[in-house]
Chains A and B, each alone.
Chain A
């Protein structure tokens, strides 16, 4: 069943949204807010799953007059639309989370970067910032405290790769959206070389929600390694696609598909990409895997940012592979050779597979080598994930296995 936690306060207006989290946070010490975030074991919801508390620690530890909080709303992953859900329907919670983050790490300036195509979300956030500023929930002294925070909205201009942390910072700075060479990490030298905290929309919303409670509410939800709940966007060959909130560990993939998403469309389930096209596929018995970070990792796949795509067995898998490859080939920032040339060459090979009507084992071997090269040598996470689903589909359905 859907577990409503983050989705509370859905659709509230500025008049009836209570900003409880912010109120409570401002009455605590910044270090106490930081502790709370760490204690609740919140993992970043943007795809990497990195413990948010540790990131916050890094930024809080930096001594600087100016620090930034940047909310990453550049959701571009095919199959993921949960951030849009939050930005359109719970904008105050998102902004609340940003302010709380600023308070905890001592940053007084923030950006929220929303992908250019999300007109409605942009409008919603813009209006919310305006209303909150009017009511002194943003600006010089928030809710009468000594903490001031200013938030700017930046619209993206159509580049999926800007969802990568450092690419996003480059984009705000007016550069091409390439990733940066690390170190230094953004926590040390981020936006305009100042310590910067970059967090996903959902991560910040979760923190705003958690701060409402005196107890460590997240610890009562989920599993030890995957605390709390997750907003899952599910689409593809399912009868009821949408954004559903799931408590970690309480449902398996199959249960999610059948009980929440109305079951598979078509003659039966083919495979699932649990975290969208950047993750390996899972199928058959793997579908009983509980929905948690650790269990999905065990299968060799990953939760990603929570955008699940379901594919029925009626589909032409090779054309899906081509579609995925087109995406990565077109969206790579084009800077590093492994990713740019790797994705381009894989795309050409897939074209040939389709026109020849066959998939050679040598081709799959080459794609495997390219994947290894990209995985080990590419400049950023985009590249490193780009061949995952493609190779896993080819390996599972097109590689002839010799059984002894």
Chain B
């Protein structure tokens, strides 16, 4: 069926019954929205997208109103613009912007959607006096901070947490002027089943949600001449950091990143990719052991702390399936504060380990008791960009530099950790060669790549068939866990808390949407394709580490330093 719709006096033809918002977008007309996200169920609360439809007494919300054949729509008439301006004034009055210079010191001062929409709507005066909501900040969580005063109750975080992540810790509570977004019994993010994935931060249009900041601690450590400050960089950061400097998503900035970190004052710049290779050695061996004995299968990956907290809360009966391997971040901290500290003759207390992550949950992971303070501070990609700006460093103008030795070497497989399916692919490359003893010809396991929520594959390794699955986004993790609980058989499953994997992490530059994730993902696989060595077990520095210190994967010393345990959380 063809829909003939007149938008702003021009005729358009559409062949699907889409919303007016989508139809206008196809006609290259942007209707302003705040509570709308095409990936979430429409909520229809901000009403900024209201448009004139001939024959209707009131304005119609474009995000939920479907086009009809013969419909006549005016998206930017005087009436519409006036109403939008009034609504915007009301939002601003309740957003706690007063002469406390809130915008200037807000976490989203450069990416605030409210400011952007206000510009699109064109406010020329604010006649409505601001209201001070005086709601206290929720800083109960190690990873995510809520500032309810800045919240406009658009409900996007609630929907993201419910529909995409299926974690459901956020809700709208109360009624009337007391309507707020909060957690169960208003207890605080740190006191409920929050997994710290940070997807809510990515969804929030304002500064009402942001990570717990560590940058001041890091500055202090750097300026403390008594301390040696070491930084490790996650695979997903190097393909995203450039966005904070105006470059397009997927711009690879590894060399500049290393250079910039040195300029900031870090004593050593190492690569988490190194320990990603180390993780593959440990986990690959762990998998082979379990696969041979056919016990405790499927093996679940354990490098995503959002996933770990999720399974601890929701499926504690299956904790034994988790790999006991620490994440690359934590393996790194452990190696630095034991092996490296000994090697350079430094007291572990004098070493500060900072990790640079696309992730907010890593902040929680670092302070877990089992991790013994091996990693002191975690900076998100966004926080690092702030530090660069505070230091006047124009990152992308720097010349590329190399990581320090001995923890700067990595394989292409390590870089894959940044993308959903990457850990699986890296593990398969190594497991294949260890099990069969032969060289793997085709290194690319395409069935585990891409954006599909749950990817499955049957991989032939020698005479054996290994059933693998990959889930990204906790909503998909839950679906897959239910299938496994019902008895579906898998051997090895990769779980990532964030849609897209770490490149879509809660600490990444905003916006992080599907388009951006695809670009970052392409960059990750490009780095792998161009790498000198593409298999974890080919990493010479890793081999040397085993020779000098650990002996072999799953040795007693490995178990002591590179493996961990989990907590049942009800």
How near does chain A come to B202, taking the closest CB pair, in angstroms? Answer: 22
> Which of A329, A330, A336 interacts with B44 by CB under 8 Å?
A336
> Which of B50, B64, B175, B179 interacts with A376 by CB under 8 Å?
B50
**Mask for B74-95, Cβ within 8 A of A = 1, else 0?**
0000010011001100110110
B70 interface residue, CB < 8 Å from A? no
**Mask for B4-47, Cβ within 8 A of A = 1, else 0?**
00000000000000000000000000000000000000111111
| Beta-carbon nearest neighbor of B52 in chain A | A376
B172 and A379 form a contact (CB under 8 A): no
Instruction: Tell me whether A329 and B177 are in contact in the complex, defined as CB-CB below 8 angstroms, given that A334-B172, A345-B128, A370-B90 are known contacts.
Output: yes
CB neighbours of B174 from chain A (8 A) = 334
B50 and A330 form a contact (CB under 8 A): no
CB neighbours of B59 from chain A (8 A) = 376-377
A337 and B46 form a contact (CB under 8 A): yes
B44 and A376 form a contact (CB under 8 A): no
Which among B45, B93, B174 has the highest number of chain A CB atoms within 10 Å?
B45
| Beta-carbon nearest neighbor of A344 in chain B | B177
CB neighbours of B90 from chain A (8 A) = 337-338, 341-342, 345, 370, 373
A331 interface residue, CB < 8 Å from B? yes
A341 and B93 form a contact (CB under 8 A): yes
Instruction: Tell me whether A332 and B176 are in contact in the complex, defined as CB-CB below 8 angstroms, given that A345-B131, A370-B86, A376-B83 are known contacts.
Output: yes
A193 interface residue, CB < 8 Å from B? no
B153 interface residue, CB < 8 Å from A? yes
Instruction: Tell me whether A345 and B79 are in contact in the complex, defined as CB-CB below 8 angstroms, given that A176-B172, A332-B175, A379-B44 are known contacts.
Output: no
A340 and B177 form a contact (CB under 8 A): yes
CB neighbours of B127 from chain A (8 A) = 362, 366
| Beta-carbon nearest neighbor of B41 in chain A | A181
Give Cα distance in the complex from A378 to B127, angstroms. Answer: 20
CB neighbours of A378 from chain B (8 A) = 47
**Mask for A160-200, Cβ within 8 A of B = 1, else 0?**
01000000000000001000010100000000000000000
How near does chain B come to A378, taking the closest CB pair, in angstroms? Answer: 7
| Beta-carbon nearest neighbor of A176 in chain B | B172
> Which of B50, B128, B172 interacts with A377 by CB under 8 Å?
B50
| Beta-carbon nearest neighbor of B79 in chain A | A376
Give Cα distance in the complex from A58 to B415, angstroms. Answer: 60
**Mask for A313-356, Cβ within 8 A of B = 1, else 0?**
00000000000000001111111111011111101110010000
B551 interface residue, CB < 8 Å from A? no
How near does chain A come to B159, taking the closest CB pair, in angstroms? Answer: 13
Give Cα distance in the complex from A377 to B87, angstroms. Answer: 9
CB neighbours of B179 from chain A (8 A) = 334-335, 340
Give Cα distance in the complex from A348 to B82, angstroms. Answer: 22
Give Cα distance in the complex from A237 to B173, angstroms. Answer: 37
CB neighbours of B172 from chain A (8 A) = 176, 334-335
CB neighbours of A370 from chain B (8 A) = 86, 90
A335 and B45 form a contact (CB under 8 A): yes
**Mask for A372-400, Cβ within 8 A of B = 1, else 0?**
11011111000010000000000000000
CB neighbours of B128 from chain A (8 A) = 345, 349, 366
Instruction: Tell me whether A336 and B47 are in contact in the complex, defined as CB-CB below 8 angstroms, given that A341-B91, A372-B86, A384-B58 are known contacts.
Output: yes
> Which of A159, A335, A348 interacts with B129 by CB under 8 Å?
A348
Instruction: Tell me whether A376 and B91 are in contact in the complex, defined as CB-CB below 8 angstroms, given that A331-B176, A334-B174, A369-B82 are known contacts.
Output: no
A340 and B176 form a contact (CB under 8 A): yes
Instruction: Tell me whether A338 and B153 are in contact in the complex, defined as CB-CB below 8 angstroms, given that A329-B177, A345-B94, A375-B58 are known contacts.
Output: no
A334 and B175 form a contact (CB under 8 A): yes
Give Cα distance in the complex from A348 to B127, angstroms. Answer: 13
Q: Which of B152-174 contact A (CB under 8 A)?
A: 152-153, 155, 172, 174
Give Cα distance in the complex from A150 to B153, angstroms. Answer: 40
| B contacts with A, residue count (CB < 8 A) | 36
Give Cα distance in the complex from A334 to B182, angstroms. Answer: 14
Give Cα distance in the complex from A254 to B550, angstroms. Answer: 97
A344 and B94 form a contact (CB under 8 A): yes
How near does chain A come to B81, taking the closest CB pair, in angstroms? Answer: 11
Give Cα distance in the complex from A362 to B91, angstroms. Answer: 19
| Beta-carbon nearest neighbor of A371 in chain B | B86
How near does chain A come to B175, taking the closest CB pair, in angstroms? Answer: 5
Instruction: Tell me whether A337 and B86 are in contact in the complex, defined as CB-CB below 8 angstroms, given that A159-B175, A181-B42, A330-B176 are known contacts.
Output: no
Give Cα distance in the complex from A333 to B79, angstroms. Answer: 26
CB neighbours of A369 from chain B (8 A) = 82, 86
> Which of A329, A333, A343, A377 interacts with B58 by CB under 8 Å?
A377
CB neighbours of A345 from chain B (8 A) = 90, 93-94, 128, 131
How near does chain B come to A384, taking the closest CB pair, in angstroms? Answer: 7
Give Cα distance in the complex from A352 to B82, angstroms. Answer: 25
CB neighbours of B176 from chain A (8 A) = 329-332, 334, 340, 343-344
| Beta-carbon nearest neighbor of B177 in chain A | A344
CB neighbours of B44 from chain A (8 A) = 181, 336, 379
Instruction: Tell me whether A338 and B87 are in contact in the complex, defined as CB-CB below 8 angstroms, given that A159-B175, A329-B177, A384-B58 are known contacts.
Output: yes
How near does chain B come to A369, taking the closest CB pair, in angstroms? Answer: 5
Instruction: Tell me whether A373 and B131 are in contact in the complex, defined as CB-CB below 8 angstroms, given that A181-B44, A334-B175 are known contacts.
Output: no
Instruction: Tell me whether A379 and B86 are in contact in the complex, defined as CB-CB below 8 angstroms, given that A159-B175, A331-B175, A344-B94 are known contacts.
Output: no
CB neighbours of A343 from chain B (8 A) = 176-177
Give Cα distance in the complex from A332 to B131, angstroms. Answer: 18
CB neighbours of B61 from chain A (8 A) = 181, 377
Give Cα distance in the complex from A379 to B50, angstroms. Answer: 11
How near does chain B come to A176, taking the closest CB pair, in angstroms? Answer: 7
CB neighbours of B43 from chain A (8 A) = 335
**Mask for B48-66, Cβ within 8 A of A = 1, else 0?**
1010000000110100101
CB neighbours of A335 from chain B (8 A) = 43, 45, 155, 172, 179
Instruction: Tell me whether A181 and B131 are in contact in the complex, defined as CB-CB below 8 angstroms, given that A334-B179, A370-B90 are known contacts.
Output: no
CB neighbours of B45 from chain A (8 A) = 335-337, 379
Give Cα distance in the complex from A74 to B64, angstroms. Answer: 28
Give Cα distance in the complex from A342 to B174, angstroms. Answer: 17
> Which of A333, A337, A348, A384 interacts with B175 by CB under 8 Å?
A333
Give Cα distance in the complex from A183 to B50, angstroms. Answer: 15
Give Cα distance in the complex from A183 to B17, angstroms. Answer: 14
Give Cα distance in the complex from A370 to B87, angstroms. Answer: 8
B82 and A372 form a contact (CB under 8 A): yes
| Beta-carbon nearest neighbor of A159 in chain B | B175
Give Cα distance in the complex from A337 to B48, angstroms. Answer: 9
| Beta-carbon nearest neighbor of B127 in chain A | A366
Give Cα distance in the complex from A342 to B396, angstroms. Answer: 46
Give Cα distance in the complex from A376 to B82, angstroms. Answer: 11
> Which of B58, B153, B177 interacts with A330 by CB under 8 Å?
B177
Give Cα distance in the complex from A348 to B175, angstroms. Answer: 17
Q: Which of A112-141 contact B (CB under 8 A)?
A: none
A344 and B47 form a contact (CB under 8 A): no
Give Cα distance in the complex from A338 to B174, angstroms. Answer: 18
B175 and A330 form a contact (CB under 8 A): yes
CB neighbours of B153 from chain A (8 A) = 334, 340
How near does chain A come to B139, taking the closest CB pair, in angstroms? Answer: 25
How near does chain A come to B390, taking the closest CB pair, in angstroms? Answer: 35
Give Cα distance in the complex from A362 to B129, angstroms. Answer: 12
How near does chain B come to A375, taking the closest CB pair, in angstroms? Answer: 7
7 smallest CB-CB distances across A and B, nearest first, come from A334-B179, A341-B90, A373-B86, A377-B47, A330-B176, A377-B50, A376-B59
Question: Can you list 27 contacts pairing A with B, beta carbon distance less than 8 Å?
Answer: A176-B172, A181-B42, A181-B44, A329-B177, A330-B175, A333-B175, A334-B153, A334-B174, A335-B43, A335-B155, A336-B45, A337-B47, A337-B90, A338-B47, A338-B86, A340-B176, A341-B91, A343-B177, A344-B131, A344-B176, A345-B94, A349-B128, A366-B127, A372-B83, A373-B82, A376-B83, A377-B87
Q: Which residues of B contact A (CB under 8 A)?
A: 42-48, 50, 58-59, 61, 64, 66, 79, 82-83, 86-87, 90-91, 93-94, 127-129, 131, 152-153, 155, 172, 174-179
Known: A332-B176, A334-B177, A334-B179. 12 other contacts (CB 8 A): A330-B175, A336-B47, A338-B90, A340-B176, A341-B87, A341-B90, A342-B90, A343-B176, A344-B177, A372-B86, A373-B82, A373-B90
